[in-house]
Amino acid sequence: MKKLINATDDVVVEALQGMEHAHPSLKVVYEPKYVVRGDAPVSGKVGIISGGGSGHEPMHGGFVGMGMLDAACPGEVFTSPTPDQMLEATKAVDGGAGVLHIVKNYTGDVLNFEMAAELAAADDIDVEAVVIDDDVAVQDSSFTAGRRGVGATVLAEKICGAAAEAGRDLAAVKELCERVNANGRSMGMALTSCTVPAAGKPTFELGDDEMEIGIGIHGEPGRERRPVATAAEVAKMLVDPILTDLPYAEGEKALVFVNSMGGTPLIELYIIYNEVAKILAEHGIEVARNLIGPYITSLEMQGCSVTLLKLDDEMTELWDAPVNTPGLRWGA
Amino acid sequence: MANGTTVTVDDLVAWVHRFSEVITEHADELTQLDSAIGDADHGTNMRRGCRAAVDALAAAEPGDITGFGRAIAMKVISTVGGASGPLYGSFFLALGTTGGSASEMDAAGTVAALKAGVEAIRTRGKAEPGDKTMLDALLPAIAAMEGSLDNGGSLADALQAGTTAAEEGMRATIPMLARKGRASYLGERSIGHQDPGATSSWLLVRSAAETLAA
């Protein structure tokens, strides 16, 4: 294992210390761990919290700031954070208008956020939770943990953050979050595995000439393993299942999010984006907005994911609203 | 020390010490199992959580069963993370609540407390037998303990029977199709792998047999 670290046990804390130095507008609390807006709680504003295992940077800590998250709870690498973190973060951002928990659908995240919500309720804080489950690679059935939460999480955090900033109430922000989830679909792929620092070895083995289609952001296996293909073929393998799952009528608008798993460079993301745009054009889908880059990563994994969000005017307007976070910034 | 008929708070603390030792010994194996069908962190997380639990018990010096359960549960929940934290945390919390404000439990009381812990895992995780989870080791273990006591067995007999049943239950997860947690994403590909949660649960029962009625 080759990594720029000091000690495997110190990875999460030292990365937080770096963030704290780099972004004075944020406050980092270490016991228990969470990253919070320096001006929290914002009086009268719905607070928005997310959290999850570390290793997906900039998600979630990099999305804390004006117009997006109020706080983020980082767990160990690929491990859910714990209810004590979520409870303290919830208290820290409660400006009197309640707090929304945006939870990615993984068993650990869901169980820990459930416990945190129970604890917060006992402290008389109004908490609502929305579970994001946009990964079409997983067959949605009662016989699995359900679809994983992936790319749509970033879009939900941005859009809901803007709504909260605009003064909408908790019920409205929650409804919007559910709407983003209902209209967002993602599919990912990997060219290489990644190595969790504490494990020291690649999470899975993938041959030099193989790729995994439908990979999860923790290296969970996907739908199938197959020989590497061209960017055009890969784009089709990612977009087709999305459009099968959530068909678009001609002329409908989409936000296209092409995400790097961490190890894939921007030059390749643009090639994929180009192919995705061609496919969408064939279907008569208008690409109204896009986001291209590493936003929800899986350590150093090479690969990408594509998320399509079917946009309405309200979501588009909130997407365009100012945001000022380490990981996403415009208009501010 | 236990005399074979009652379990004291000190015995429970010794159980957690022993569990922490065996988890540390088996941490790499647990992580290896988890990398096959999960996210390769079960051993690391359990080792971190068990060590913290040992420290928390030393600091809390619980005087009764409820205090023991509470001290370890909050620590496990706040240090293990993942799904295992809330699940094992709920186990100890319910075990302590059932044990109550007494400072010791008899054989039937001990098995009842263990059973309450396992039921709490079932409620929190919403899993059923056969889903390829911790419960596939724990539910047979509790049934075997109850059966042993019903047949006039001692607590030592019951815990031994529970350990054997937990081990069999753990092995029985190998051909199962996972229906909960990250392993469920694998579908058919989860078949042929032993469940890491069932494995740490077997170690939990085995540690109990080694300490509670020693």
Q: What is the pLDDT of residues A87-111, one digit of tens each?
A: 999 999 999 999 999 999 999 999 9
Residues of A in contact with B189 (CB under 8 A): 221
pLDDT at B119 over 90: yes
Q: What share of chain A is helix, strand, coil (3-state, %, to 5)?
A: 35, 25, 40
Amino acid at B41: D
**B81-118 pLDDT, tens per residue?**
889 999 999 999 999 999 999 999 999 999 999 999 99
- Tell me how far apart the alpha carbons of residues B170 and A53 are, in angstroms, rounded to a whole number: 27
Residues of A in contact with B125 (CB under 8 A): 107, 111
Q: Residues A101, A117: contact at Cβ < 8 Å? A: yes
- Tell me how far apart the alpha carbons of residues B102 and A331 are, in angstroms, rounded to a whole number: 62
Mean pLDDT of chain A: 95
pLDDT of residue B172: 98
**B165-191 pLDDT, tens per residue?**
999 999 999 999 999 988 888 888 899
- Helix B107-125 to helix B135-150 angle (10° resolution) is 160
Average pLDDT over residues A194-198: 92
pLDDT of residue A198: 87
Taking CB atoms and an 8 Å limit, are A199 and B35 in contact across chains? yes
Residues of A in contact with B187 (CB under 8 A): 139, 144
Q: Please, which pLDDT band fits residue A141 given cuts at 50, 70 and 90?
A: low
CA distance B181 to chain A (A): 5
Q: Please, which pLDDT band fits residue A145 given cuts at 50, 70 and 90?
A: confident
**A201-211 pLDDT, tens per residue?**
898 889 999 99
**A247-263 pLDDT, tens per residue?**
999 999 999 999 999 99
Q: Is A292 helix (H, G, I), strand (E, B) or coil?
A: strand
Average pLDDT over residues A241-246: 97
- b/e per residue, B117-147, with b = 16+ CB within 10 A? bbbbbbebbebeeebbbbbbbbbbbbebbbe
Q: Please, which pLDDT band fits residue B5 given cuts at 50, 70 and 90?
A: confident
Q: Please, which pLDDT band fits residue B194 given cuts at 50, 70 and 90?
A: very high
Domains of chain A and any CATH numbers: 11-182 (3.40.50.10440), 184-318 (3.30.1180.20)
pLDDT at B1 over 70: no
Number of H helices, E strands in chain B: 8, 2
Least confident stretch, A66-80, A137-151, A184-198, A306-320: A137-151
- B82 inside 8 A of chain A by CB: yes
**A47-84 pLDDT, tens per residue?**
999 999 999 999 999 999 999 999 999 999 998 999 99
- B197 inside 8 A of chain A by CB: no
Q: Please, which pLDDT band fits residue A43 given cuts at 50, 70 and 90?
A: very high
To the nearest whole percent, how much of chain A has pLDDT over 90? 90
CA distance A142 to chain B (A): 8
pLDDT of residue A143: 66
Number of H helices, E strands in chain A: 8, 14
- B81 inside 8 A of chain A by CB: yes
Residues of A in contact with B35 (CB under 8 A): 199, 201, 203-204
Average pLDDT over residues A134-142: 81
Question: What residues contact residue A301 under an 8 Å CB cut-off, 6+ apart?
Answer: A190, A192, A193, A194, A215, A219, A261, A262, A263
User: B85 exposed, middle or buried (CB, 10 Å; 0-12, 13-18, 19+)?
Assistant: buried
Q: Please, which pLDDT band fits residue A264 given cuts at 50, 70 and 90?
A: very high
Q: Kindly name the residue from A23, A60, A101, A218 that is annotated as catalytic.
A: A218
Q: Please, which pLDDT band fits residue A35 given cuts at 50, 70 and 90?
A: very high
Q: Who among B39, B87, B125 is closest to A220 (CB)?
A: B39
Taking CB atoms and an 8 Å limit, are B125 and A111 in contact across chains? yes
**Is A56 part of the annotated catalytic residue set?**
yes
Q: Please, which pLDDT band fits residue A220 given cuts at 50, 70 and 90?
A: confident
pLDDT of residue B2: 43
- Tell me how far apart the alpha carbons of residues B162 and A188 are, in angstroms, rounded to a whole number: 43
To the nearest whole percent, how much of chain A has pLDDT over 70? 99
Domains of chain B and any CATH numbers: 6-211 (1.25.40.340)
- B55 inside 8 A of chain A by CB: no
pLDDT of residue A203: 86
**Is A218 part of the annotated catalytic residue set?**
yes
Average pLDDT over residues A13-26: 98
Task: Name the A residues in 180-219 with CB < 8 Å from any B CB.
Answer: 196, 198-199, 201, 203-204, 216, 218-219
- Phi/psi at A325 (5° precision): -130, 165
Q: Who among B31, B124, B125 is closest to A199 (CB)?
A: B31
Mean pLDDT of chain B: 93
pLDDT at B3 over 80: no
- Tell me how far apart the alpha carbons of residues A327 and B68 are, in angstroms, rounded to a whole number: 43
